[in-house]
Chain A
Amino acid sequence: MGSGRLYAAVAAGGFRRYATYRAATAAGVFTNTVFGIILVYTYLALWDERPHLGGYDQTQAVTYAWLGQALYSTLAIQGGGAEKDLMARIRTGEIAVDLYRPADLQLWWLASDLGRAVFQMLGRGVIPFTFGALFFSMALPQDITTWVAFLVAVALAMIVSFGIRYLAALMMFWLMDDRGVTQTMMILGIFCSGMTLPLNAFPDPFGDIVQSLPWAAQLQMPANVLMGEVSPWHAYAFQAGWAVVLLAAGRLLQSAATRRVVVQGG
């Protein structure tokens, strides 16, 4: 029970840390909104040319675009969540302090990242999405159950997103310079999450491949749950499956890394 409170406190800390920078949050909202507008117009032009592309109609494509902007920083799709700090701590050697703590390394960082994600969703996600709903026609559900089901899918997406970034961060134990990993993660994240184009609008067989990768659990699944394109239980099974695989892989890599840890600096 005590450890539950510890991780709740860590999560609250992650939330508060990001909540401190109000001007930065407002700036992020503005930027996401501008990018949302640009993206929506390109989608409108595309769906104008090919109605029902990927099984979406125009309003669904618009909804998807705004959802992408709303979840962009929440799911740290191009990186930049807790893993950024973890990478820095491994590089500087401060990770030694974390390893001495009477807490689980992975759970500690997961809690911290979830706190961040929840803040980013409330602080940075809601306004661009509402802006989109006000100025463009979107396909939003009328019943509360679908919204709740959607929020559950977002929560699972947060865990999958952390799972991917935690693996990337642990690479620092071997590589020391984070730029290559960060960029690889960014490319895969933006592309395979469907930030550029919904994954169901990808040409076959490419579309089927990306839709089976863990990144599909991030944006595509919550979007499809919100728009009723997939049954929530199917989405949850897919997301939870990847979450378990990624977190287990994170554990394995973590134990390999800490067994050979040579602390930097001094």
Chain B
Amino acid sequence: MAEATRLGEGLRAYRLIAGMWIRSTMTYRTSFALTVVGNLLITGMDFAAILLMFSQVDSLGGWTLPEVALLYGLSATAFGFADLLLGSMDVLGGRIRDGSFDTLLVRPAPVLAQVGADQFALRRLGRITQGVLVLGYALVAVDVEWTAAKVLLVPVMVVCGAVIFGSLFVAGAAFQFVAQDAAEVQNAFTYGGGTLLQYPPTVFGTDLVRGVTYVLPLAFVNWVPAAYVLGRPYPLDLPEWAAFAPPLVAGGFCVLAGLAWRAGLRAYRSTGS
């Protein structure tokens, strides 16, 4: 019961702070409109790169354009939701350095909710829009015998993918308590992971694929379940049921990110200023 109220409190705080940032953004409406379009275009550049590549070839690593678009759409949409909800957490490093993080600790609201909603950037809807557009194109264009399981797997992938990326953002934020200036390392895992998953696993070296399957199991965002949907061989010959493991993997990511966040918060030493 206490946990439930705490969660409710956190969500309420998140909603209030995010609402404040949205109002603040809306003060400069032209700039907001420009930045949403800009965000859409910036994040769309990854896909433009893929289109450019496919203007020269018919397949990449044995995957056709609609198939790669499916991977891309799933990865980008899942990442987009995580980015909208928690993507501003990298400002935490700045708050730790200038000491303003102390203010968050004395406020009567869960710290994670405050940090998550800090600098909430509605312009990130651009990335989601772009991901959804590509995903929509891919779902229409791929040659798939749709079954109930395959249809159900699509939203499951997006939700679980968002949870997995969101956990990475939280873990990255926790890392900043110890890393301080080295905050950029987390980009290698969040943005790097998002980019990696936009391409077929057959493109990459086996060791890299092993790493993102067994060590940091990002492969369950889209590689494995999308291989099931497309009827392609799984990376690393994983068993058939692995396609349905994303909720399990996402749960594991959540638990570990939560532990990392608590450990990070406990390790916090104020600058004293």
Instruction: Enumerate chain A residues within 8 angstroms of B196, measured Cβ to Cβ.
Output: 38
Interface string of B73-105 (1 = CB under 8 A from A): 000000000000000000000000000000000
0/1 string, A179-200, CB within 8 A of B gives 1: 1100110110011000011000
| A31 lies within 8 A of B41 (CB) | no
Cβ–Cβ contact B34 & A191, under 8 A: no
Contacts of A187 in B (CB 8 A): 38, 41-42, 45
CB neighbours (8 Å) of B35 from chain A are 179-180, 183
Q: Are A31 and B42 in contact (CB under 8 A)?
A: no
Q: Is B167 an interface residue (CB 8 A)?
A: no
Chain A contacts of B53 at CB under 8 A?
A: 42, 46, 197
Cβ–Cβ contact A35 & B179, under 8 A: no
Q: A46-B57, A177-B28, A202-B52 are in contact. Are A26 and B182 (CB under 8 A)?
A: yes
Q: At the interface, yes or no: B7 with Cβ under 8 Å from chain A?
A: no
Closest to A178 in B: B31
Name the interface residues of B153-200: CB closer than 8 Å to any CB of A. Answer: 179-185, 187-188, 192, 195-196, 199
Q: Which of B45, B52, B59, B60 has the most CB of A within 10 A?
A: B52
Q: Which of A35, A42, A187, A202 has the most CB of B within 10 A?
A: A42
User: Range of interface residues on chain A?
Assistant: 35 or more
A27-B179, A197-B52 as given contacts; A49 in contact with B57, CB under 8 Å: yes
Give 17 CB contacts A-B under 8 Å.
A23-B182, A30-B188, A31-B188, A38-B199, A38-B204, A42-B199, A49-B59, A50-B56, A177-B28, A179-B31, A179-B34, A180-B38, A183-B41, A183-B42, A187-B41, A190-B42, A197-B52
- For A26, the chain B residues whose CB sits under 8 A away are 182
> Once the chains bind, are A45 and B61 in contact (CB under 8 Å)?
yes
Q: Which residues of B contact A (CB under 8 A)?
A: 28, 30-31, 34-35, 38-39, 41-42, 45-46, 48-49, 52-53, 55-61, 123, 179-185, 187-188, 192, 195-196, 199, 202-205, 208
- Determine the distance from Cα of A41 to Cα of B208 in the docked complex, in whole angstroms: 10
**B52-A184 in contact (CB<8A):** no
Which chain B residues border A30 with CB–CB below 8 Å? 184-185, 188
* CB-CB nearest in chain A for B203: A45
Is the Cβ of A27 less than 8 Å from the Cβ of B208? no
A53 interfacial contact with B, CB 8 Å: yes
Residues from chain A with Cβ under 8 Å of B195 in the complex = 35, 38
Given contacts A34-B192, A35-B192, A183-B39, contact A21 B181 (CB under 8 A): yes
Q: Known contacts being A31-B187, A45-B60, A179-B38, is A23 close to B55, with CB within 8 Å?
A: no
Report how far A30 CA is from B184 CA in the complex, Å. 9
13 additional A-B residue pairs with CB within 8 Å, beyond A49-B60, A50-B57: A28-B184, A30-B185, A31-B187, A31-B188, A34-B188, A35-B188, A35-B192, A50-B56, A179-B35, A179-B38, A196-B49, A197-B49, A203-B55
